[in-house]
Amino acid sequence: MPPLTLDASSRRSNVLARRGMVATSQPLAAMAGLRILLDGGNAADAAVATAAVLAVVEPMSTGLGGDAFALFYDAQASTRPGLDPQEGSQGPRRITALNGSGRAPAALTLDDLRRAGLAEIALDSPHSVTVPGTVAAWADLLARHGVMPLSAVLQPAIEYARDGFPVSELIAASWQRGEAKLARLPSGLELLPGGRAPRWGEIVRLPELARTLQAIAAGGPEAFYQGETGQRIVAFVQQQGGRLALADLASHRSTWDEPISLPYRGLRVWECPPNGQGLAALLALGIVSQDDLAAAPPAERWHLLIEAMRLAWADARRWVADPAFGALPLEELLTPAYLASRRSQIDQQRANLAPAAGLPAAERWPVQPAPRSDTVYLSVVDGQGNACSFINSLYHGFGSGLVAPGTGVALQNRGALFSLDPDHPNRLAPGKRPYHTIIPALATQDDELWASFGVMGGFMQPQGHLQVLVNLLNLGLTPQEALDAPRFCLLEGEPGGRVAIEAGAGDALIAALRAQGHDLAVTAGLERTLFGVGQVIRRTADRVLIAGSDPRRDGCAVGW
């Protein structure tokens, strides 16, 4: 096969449909979701089918050993009885937030790790393995919003894992980057068919993963959390020195949380609450909500967005944590008065490389380097107007690199995001969920769906939400144009420090930002995956679905 680059210039059109749309980072997965819609499934059913296929065809980025989050827009919510008493006095919510993230083992304590001399949890450590939440999230999303059984929506994934699939281009490159990580232990070879990472165009079969998926289809999530698969996972992690126990898996539960939101230029933008970092996206949007970004010259607009993101990071890195372990000041952070006060701190002429959190004084905590977009995001809108904004991840490529023998399941390394600072809200504790980078998003207008969108890729994600939404709403770009446009990325989610910027932004803009004090790393080629991979589905007032898929990955949008 010819060498792979991201330098080729090609044009993608928006994809338009009326009866249903799926957009994600791999065509086989997108088609699996569309297949479910054609078979009578809705947005929830198609989302799970798409996510399951992605766990097979893009296994470095997602899998059964990871976590998932979803926002679901229920087009019929206002016309039927409430879903549960927690929905509030105004009846059933149109938007529900599913938190499918796992928790730290009950036997893993902060004191234990500090006594061992650890300042952080290493990315490849067995202590980085938290309970996998994905399988439960799939089942819970279907139970609340789907119309098809889990056994049916898993069939496309089972077929690809058992019978084989051709590896797509950029996924092959990511697979090759993870080859050494997987090869450290014999069980890693279950995801290195033939003893090496596949090249693009090669046919790959993953028989161990196929058997695990078949067991879940037959026995439900219990087959994963309490059956042979769970027992294999626990035995392996403990063999590597970890503390994960079968009781941790058996007691795992997803939660349905109250989504957080913010008005923005006639829309309401929705995110999942902490322990996810969607708060950072809302803070940044709120900071610039009164600015006329469309009228601003490009250098002024980019400077303002970068500075708003720096301030948002300072607050998010201070406060995002598991709210079950302490109250978080979310309402205060999202008030117009607080956002206006943060906006007043932006110098229009000069970059601020040391922004502080606004509530209270800043407290820094170490975070591992951001992964190279090793997550999957998907968006589905069905013909009834239901939408599912869904994200699934192992954190870094192939997670911890630990693959439970006989399962084909790579285990995530989300635990590496815990702080070992005993005074930080995100400090490690038994049964606690860590700071989470993966975030889906929705936007509504007058209670009607406006867009289902997301940009996967570690700490790039809220930065991507900010930039793509500004492109769509402020600049009036189409979904595909909004995703094609060059982006910036505050590296590793640090409030200060270097900012990566795509070469396509242009020499004049780059020079102007440098003159304002921004330390820029100009990025091109395959490194462009650093800027995340987004998907957007817009729904117009005429109920036309308009979708775009990010050119920085292999994916596409498909509809009917």
Q: What is the pLDDT of residues 118-170, one digit of tens each?
A: 999 999 999 999 999 999 999 999 999 999 999 999 999 999 999 999 999 99
In sequence order, which residues have a C-beta less than 8 Å from that of residue 16 and are 6 or more positions away? 544, 545, 546, 547, 559
In this structure, of 72-76, 79-83, 180-184, 490-494, the range with the lowest mean pLDDT score is 79-83
Cα four-point dihedral sign 53, 438, 170, 400? negative
pTM: 0.94
Catalytic site residue from 134, 375, 407, 523:
375
**Band of residue 366 on the pLDDT scale cut at 50, 70, 90:** very low
Distance CA 432, CA 103 (A): 5
Distance CA 335, CA 40 (A): 42
In this prediction, residue 205 carries a pLDDT of 98
In this prediction, residue 159 carries a pLDDT of 98
* 218 burial type by CB count under 10 A (0-12 exposed, 13-18 middle, 19+ buried): exposed
**Angle between helix 155-163 and 27-38 (nearest 10):** 140
Ramachandran area for residue 10 (φ above 0: left; ψ -120 to 50: alpha; else beta): beta
- The domains of the chain, with CATH numbers, are 26-65+97-256+401-411 (no CATH), 273-360+458-532 (1.10.246.130)
**Band of residue 258 on the pLDDT scale cut at 50, 70, 90:** very high
Asked whether the beta carbons of 392 and 68 are under 8 A apart, the reply is: yes
- The encoded tokens of residue 354 equal 């040391």
- Mean pLDDT along residues 285-313: 97
Q: How many CB atoms lie within 10 A of CB 90?
A: 8
Closest of 423, 472, 474 to residue 452, by C-alpha: 472
Q: Given a cut of 80, is residue 415 above it in pLDDT?
A: yes
**Band of residue 77 on the pLDDT scale cut at 50, 70, 90:** confident
In this prediction, residue 491 carries a pLDDT of 86
In this prediction, residue 497 carries a pLDDT of 80
Distance CA 113, CA 346 (A): 40
Q: What is the DSSP letter of 474?
A: I
In this prediction, residue 371 carries a pLDDT of 43
In this prediction, residue 82 carries a pLDDT of 46
437 is catalytic: no
